[in-house]
Structure 1
Amino acid sequence: MSDASAPAPRPAVRTPRPSAATGDVSISSSAPDATPELRPRAANGRFTRAGSYEDVAAPDLPVDRFLDREISWLQFNERVLQLAADESVPLLERARFLAIFTSNLDEFFMVRVAGLKRRIATGIAVRSPSGLEPREVLEQIARIAHDLTLMQTRIFDESVRPALAEEGINIVRWSEIEQAEQDRLGELFRDQIYPVLTPLAVDPAHPFPYISGLSLNLAVILINPKTGKEHFARIKMPPSLPRFLKVRRAQASVTSDLFEARFVPLEDVIAAHLHHLFPGMEVHEHYSFRVTRNEDLEVEEDDAENLLAALEKELTRRRFGPPVRLEVEEDLDDHVMELLSRELGISADEVYRLPAPLDLRGLNEIADLDRTDLHFPPFVARTNADLAPAESAKAANLIGRIARQDVLLQHPYDSFSTSVQAFIEQAAADPHVLAIKQTLYRTSGDSPIVDALIDAAEAGKQVLAVVEIKARFDEQANIEWARKLEHAGVHVVYGIVGLKTHCKLALVVRQEPDGVKRYCHVGTGNYNPKTARIYEDMGILTSDPEVGEDLTRLFNQLSGVAPRSKFKRLLVAPRHIRDGLVERVERQVERQQRTGDGYVAVKVNSLVDEGTIDALYRASQAGVRVDVWVRGICAIRPGVPGLSETIRVHSVLGRFLEHSRIFLFGTGADREAWIGSADLMHRNLDRRVEALVRIKEPRHIDQVFDLVERGMSGDYAHWSLDGDGRWTRVHQGADGAPLPDIQAALIAMHAKRRRKARR
């Protein structure tokens, strides 16, 4: 077999081990002590109709140049776990990172693992670009996920939980609380818990009950004292009740209640009162368990006359998706395990035996405690200096400010409510505004943006909302908002069939003395005031005629028929972003050959698009400096001799979720800076409507280049990726002193910029 057709070597997996100093864990997608073997492949990249990537014309690039995306995602969640283990992180934030780890892993199984299993079952799964067969990917996922979940429970049991106890926050089991506390919880059980419980028995008259996805349950083994016969019952923990119940001490005071708290898992309280649920029966055993199901939606839009109705129907089916994971208490009896596995159709490698308590998402409730001494320092977003009112008691005229200059925003450091939200609200109230057009991908439950669009429509303005009702896990909320908007007279459309509308755009059309003028916002994040306080995103407010013309054309594409629109300051997927970015990378190769100072920088959530990665590899082979700042998945191999020696990859995690997408090219006067909604993934570049906008003003270009330079400098805490697929945490300097946090530095920098502007 020739090298060109030989399968890629399979990456080995290292078991996570805690660092003695920090409790860090580490996994690798390839052998730890060797640069991966890189063999030439006789092809260049293209995508098949089935969605797999084929190489068809790049003999100069090696066969195993891509890291596996699923393993890379698990490594991202490992980095979240490392923050939970880090004793320098405020304690309640460490508890929150444990909860985030659980939520992240839940979604990974519900979508990625479930999708992979479905493709295997239907026979359409193909070898991944990393060279792994689908079942090999599943095997590695199972091995690494088992290791990481066990590490999570150890961090909780051995580090976070004891540290919380030292601060007077005790998460205890039923047997650890005093009799008086048990009595008070008994009253709570009778008054508030017992009425909402529904015990379900299994016998010839009662089939095994349906177990909903992500619900926490008790498996109860009962003995009939008269017949000696064994019975099985299931009790679902009501999602309306807190995951951890607070126990009040008998002699609690205001001070002790504020700084001391005791919490008991809900299932412990229910388990202690099972005799109330099954009178006359002996409770023999009880165990907690939790099922994860396939919850990815499949809607054939071409066959759906009414997309809204089709999606609502599919949402009702979601809860009945097949199981993909079963979490159980580690001491679960074998015969109960056999029963659950048989009834749920779960295989042995899909079972995760873990120390109780299961489902640590509930730690979010603990993390919300009002203990400022155990949280990150207080942070209040400030109004961007270019939008700040001259008089503090009077709101700035945003449209007037934007008419004079572009405004570059970086949230959450720049307030969303006094910039983007205020822009839409002022436009809705402005009698000279004729129309507002906006995309809505995800928004909050009480969205002032939606309210402003409704106000505008009721005031007689032309209002268009492009609502993406297929935004994963927000489908139901978006359906409700779409209907609310329609009832208010807003023109609601659902984008282009077959494509998700993921771009973040707003267009305001205003009648002015010298004619109609357009005001625009193009961003990297959703129009969601809540997440805007914790997501790092960028956006630009502009009255540039070229951007206004581009957005008008794009909205016409989304709401009508304009298939051949051309754009001046935008790159739009699925037609132009990949090609536009690759073209600019190639220009840097030419620049490198002419002047020796070619430069490319990318800041994204995920980098897995093989065509773009190959362009970066070729740039590196030509000597171009390539910086990649990625939060999550990364399939590129940096620092490999002869392939990617000039590529560096950093990752930053912290109190804010790094969410902006930035693309930089060149040095000196020829620099280009782009921001927008697109990650470098197949779904973004091929199956979504995405938009990038070119930053025009020199001071804004300086600002964006400075941001990326900071992130890649090595002067701040970060993770660094090696060519063999290992992430290394870099949070100490050469002298052993902790490296500063870049997000804390940006808080200080924006505050300083605001004070300087006021002077």
Structure 2
Amino acid sequence: MASESDEATQRTRALRVGRGSDDGGERSPSSSASVETRPEIPSIGPRFGHRVRGEPVLPRATDQVSVPADATPRHPSLYFNPELSWLDFNWRVLYQAMDERTPLLERLRFLAITENNLDEFVMKRVGGLKRVLGAGVVKPSLDGLDPAEQLDLVRAGVRTMRVCLAAAWEEDLRPRLAEELGIVVRDFDHLNDAEREHVRRVFMDRIYPILTPLAVDPGHPFPFLSNMSLSLALMLEHPERRTRHFARVKIPPSVRWIELPESNHLVPVDEVIRGFAGDLFRGMKIESASLFRVTRNADVARDEEVADDLLKMISEELRERRFARVVRLEVEPEMPNDVRAFLLRQLELDEEDLYEIPGLLEMSGFWRIAAEGPWQHRYEPWEPMIPPRLIREGETEDGPDIFTVIRAGDLMVHHPYESFTATVQRFIEEAASDPDVVAIKQTLYRTGEQSRIIAALVKAAEAGKAVAVLVEVTARFDEADNMEWASVLEEAGVNVTYGLVGLKTHAKVVLVVREEGDEIRTYCHIGTGNYNSETAQIYADIGILTAQPEIGRDAVNLFHYLTGYAPQQRYEELIVAPNYLRPAIMDRIEREIAHVEAGRQGRMIMKMNGLDDPKLIRALYAASRAGVEIDLIVRGQCRLRPGIPGFSENIRVRSIVGRFLEHDRIFWWENGGTPEVWIGSADWRRRNLDDRVEVLLPVRDRRITKRLRKTLQVALRDNQRAWELLPTGEYVLLEPGPRQRRVDYHDRMLRAVRKRRRKVDGNQ
């Protein structure tokens, strides 16, 4: 085992090795490259790789630190850094764009997803670290890194990832699109005369009128640069006065490509604007024209405790975020040094905040190419299944009313394998139309642009039903949309609340109250995902529709807690954060330990999006030492370090990344042979346990329990899309052994639904 001094030496070395110029992913801000030079993916040693078939294919961000022989469960070496762990998750997303098994156009889409993820990470986490440093905070995180060290590592990791993104496009996907699909992204400089004339006509007709050239001089201050905007920085010379001037032109986000006369040949609009920049500055000589992009801080401090109007506070926060400090400046390698220096001064940035990006600076245009390309180069179209219980002949022409189905027994729905619109959305729409429904209550965290659920709630309120909705206006990057929906609902007469002071409401709950004869009956939906029909097509989420009276009473109490004053509200079945979730988890972990000590099997299978809570990690270490077998399926950030003798040798961690975004949370406790299983909205992150209202539902229905067990078993058998986390922090893509079958989790889930569909069709 290494000593403390050895550990410090390794950490210091990690700041230099594998994350800077030695890693091939960072260049000096003053360096330049030929236009024809294409970037290469950095060569990564085994110690710094995500491995596939034993070979390193991508970098990793997490540090490899030895665990001292006398380490306690609180020792920094037992915890991965959360920021670097997230970067490693995004490496796994990027790998989908490099994986030959992924359809070509989907690989292009994964490039755009990776860039979008990285942009949000910089906005939130780089911005947050810079704000922490500005406040003079030097306290190290759980893994022993202080904010300055974390920021250095994060910046280097972001640079390396961005270079790999560019290389994946230039070296692989760009030529593949041309060869296999005939989709050719052309360089403006290589257009022939006829093509250039065509592009010029398009430019003058469609682009020129919407451009706004902005000069910078004593009469024109440096312009405001909107977040994530792509711009052209021009250095101009007046030919008579011999004076030099700076100007900026924003690239319009509404147009990304200009189509050439030859079918499927495209040229980036930013290159076209640069090529015809002389038309914008007639009479001036253009010395240089370089693309750049800025990223602003989204980690804006808020103080809900003193806010007298939450909506006003969020409105001010959105405005503050719009004008927040720039935390990253991305530039082309060809940008002259004096232009770089000028931009850094105007934006009040250090050289460390400048990121030199080869190739395309902005990849959002890939979404359009991926969406419009031929189907044979995308995932096979998928039509979600309607659960058989909802399509049998019954009381109505379209099948039984949904309340009859739910009364007959709990109904589990698994999106996107099963239809969201025909289940959850139908539940809310039928409740809005049913004359026997007297009240609907719902939480809304994120919803779609054209939300039929919002329309149904408005319809219910206009019909005289009591409708109460908690709209979480603090949901990151959805604040403006949620405020707009809240306004629409309020205008229709819905009772709208905006959450609890100091707590974000992340729970996914719908409560319907119905008059049935002389009694009142409640119906509920408890889920893991947002009420969003768009994301329900790509996010894997689970929900349960139930008429259990205990759940209904708990849901009534929950909404009383959310809309009124009831901080000590009690619940019979639901497990609600922040008051009750952490104690419930700790109790079950201790119960598994007790089973092992009594000679029974101790087993836990936990499927979630993230794991970073120190107390729960230490509890899992204690369970592992006691002999409890623990499988963690953690899609994203994971701070727990598995496979460490004396601490976590009985803990295995895997991450599944593929066609669908794994978003469901399933928690399985073996409980000595009498399993207990939960589904719900909460990850095992400190924010979910202490700073959010979360709801988990213990599953009592045996059929659903059996189905969830099979789901977890398939996830644990995946050897196609699953990555295993090693004690070193490396992720290894699993592959089948000599006598093992190939198991692709998403494919198996799709096949299971097809099998059920054929069975239903055969019985009709």
What's the TM-score once normalised by structure 1's chain length?
0.92
CA contact (8 A) 1:291 1:325 kept: yes
| Unaligned ranges ≥5, structure 1 | 42-58, 250-256
What's the CA shift string for 1:194-226, capped at 9, x where partnerless? 111111111122122121110000001111111
Q: C-alpha displacement at 1:387, in angstroms?
A: 2.4
> Residues 469 and 79 (structure 1 numbering): CA distance in 2 closer, same or farther, change over 3 Å?
same
2:198 matches 1:184? yes
The aligned runs of 1:247-646 (5 Å cut-off) are: 247-249=260-262, 257=263, 261-390=264-393, 394-646=398-650
**679, 685, 698: which one aligns with 2:683:** 679
The aligned runs of 1:11-22 (5 Å cut-off) are: 11=11, 12=14, 14=18, 15=23, 17=43
> Residues 220 and 4 (structure 1 numbering): CA distance in 2 closer, same or farther, change over 3 Å?
closer
* Aligned equivalents of 1:114, 1:217: Cα separation in 2: 21
The percentage of counterpart residues that share the same residue type is 41
SS in 1 for 2:486: helix
Q: C-alpha displacement at 1:442, in angstroms?
A: 0.4
Which one-letter code corresponds to 1:423 in the other structure? F
Q: C-alpha displacement at 1:390, in angstroms?
A: 2.9
Q: C-alpha displacement at 1:7, in angstroms?
A: 8.7
Which residue number in structure 2 is paired with residue 713 of structure 1? 717
* Aligned equivalents of 1:270, 1:329: Cα separation in 2: 15
> Residues 739 and 181 (structure 1 numbering): CA distance in 2 closer, same or farther, change over 3 Å?
farther
* Aligned equivalents of 1:248, 1:479: Cα separation in 2: 44
> Residues 125 and 244 (structure 1 numbering): CA distance in 2 closer, same or farther, change over 3 Å?
farther
Q: CA RMSD in A?
A: 2.2
Which residue number in structure 2 is paired with residue 172 of structure 1? 186
* Aligned equivalents of 1:729, 1:468: Cα separation in 2: 37
Which residue number in structure 2 is paired with residue 206 of structure 1? 220
Which residue number in structure 2 is paired with residue 162 of structure 1? 175
181-190 vs 508-517, greater mean Cα deviation: 181-190
CA contact (8 A) 1:672 1:695 kept: yes
Which residue number in structure 2 is paired with residue 88 of structure 1? 101
Which residue number in structure 1 is paired with residue 26 of structure 2? none
* Aligned equivalents of 1:650, 1:616: Cα separation in 2: 16
* Aligned equivalents of 1:277, 1:84: Cα separation in 2: 38
2:66 matches 1:36? yes
SS in 1 for 2:501: coil
Which residue number in structure 2 is paired with residue 122 of structure 1? 135
CA contact (8 A) 2:602 2:629 kept: yes
**749, 756, 759: which one aligns with 1:746:** 749
* Aligned equivalents of 2:739, 2:295: Cα separation in 1: 42
* Aligned equivalents of 1:366, 1:739: Cα separation in 2: 31
SS in 1 for 2:632: strand
> Residues 630 and 321 (structure 1 numbering): CA distance in 2 closer, same or farther, change over 3 Å?
same
The aligned runs of 1:45-64 (5 Å cut-off) are: 59=72, 62-64=75-77
8-17 vs 702-711, greater mean Cα deviation: 8-17
* Aligned equivalents of 1:159, 1:123: Cα separation in 2: 44
What's the CA shift string for 1:161-204, capped at 9, x where partnerless? 11001120111110223322221221111111111111111112
> Residues 268 and 6 (structure 1 numbering): CA distance in 2 closer, same or farther, change over 3 Å?
closer
> Residues 401 and 20 (structure 1 numbering): CA distance in 2 closer, same or farther, change over 3 Å?
closer
* Aligned equivalents of 1:637, 1:441: Cα separation in 2: 32
Q: C-alpha displacement at 1:388, in angstroms?
A: 2.7
Residues matched between the structures, number: 726
2:677 matches 1:657? no
SS in 1 for 2:372: coil
CA contact (8 A) 2:227 2:322 kept: yes
Which residue number in structure 2 is paired with residue 56 of structure 1? none
What's the CA shift string for 1:488-520, capped at 9, x where partnerless? 000001121111111000000000124000000
CA contact (8 A) 2:720 2:733 kept: no
* Aligned equivalents of 1:749, 1:684: Cα separation in 2: 32
CA contact (8 A) 2:73 2:618 kept: no
* Aligned equivalents of 2:251, 2:73: Cα separation in 1: 57
Q: C-alpha displacement at 1:5, in angstroms?
A: 12
Which residue number in structure 1 is paired with residue 153 of structure 2? 140
* Aligned equivalents of 2:740, 2:484: Cα separation in 1: 51
2:248 matches 1:242? no
Which one-letter code corresponds to 1:357 in the other structure? L
* Aligned equivalents of 1:524, 1:193: Cα separation in 2: 44
Which residue number in structure 1 is paired with residue 111 of structure 2? 98
* Aligned equivalents of 2:531, 2:403: Cα separation in 1: 18
Which one-letter code corresponds to 1:292 in the other structure? T
CA contact (8 A) 2:52 2:732 kept: no
SS in 1 for 2:388: coil
> Residues 347 and 746 (structure 1 numbering): CA distance in 2 closer, same or farther, change over 3 Å?
same
CA contact (8 A) 1:606 1:634 kept: yes
* Aligned equivalents of 1:371, 1:562: Cα separation in 2: 55
705-714 vs 374-383, greater mean Cα deviation: 705-714
> Residues 280 and 5 (structure 1 numbering): CA distance in 2 closer, same or farther, change over 3 Å?
closer
Which one-letter code corresponds to 1:356 in the other structure? G
Which residue number in structure 2 is paired with residue 252 of structure 1? none
* Aligned equivalents of 1:734, 1:637: Cα separation in 2: 25
What's the TM-score once normalised by structure 2's chain length?
0.92
SS in 2 for 1:24: strand
CA contact (8 A) 2:607 2:665 kept: yes
* Aligned equivalents of 1:28, 1:306: Cα separation in 2: 41
Which one-letter code corresponds to 1:192 in the other structure? R
> Residues 38 and 438 (structure 1 numbering): CA distance in 2 closer, same or farther, change over 3 Å?
farther
CA contact (8 A) 1:436 1:461 kept: yes
2:241 matches 1:227? yes
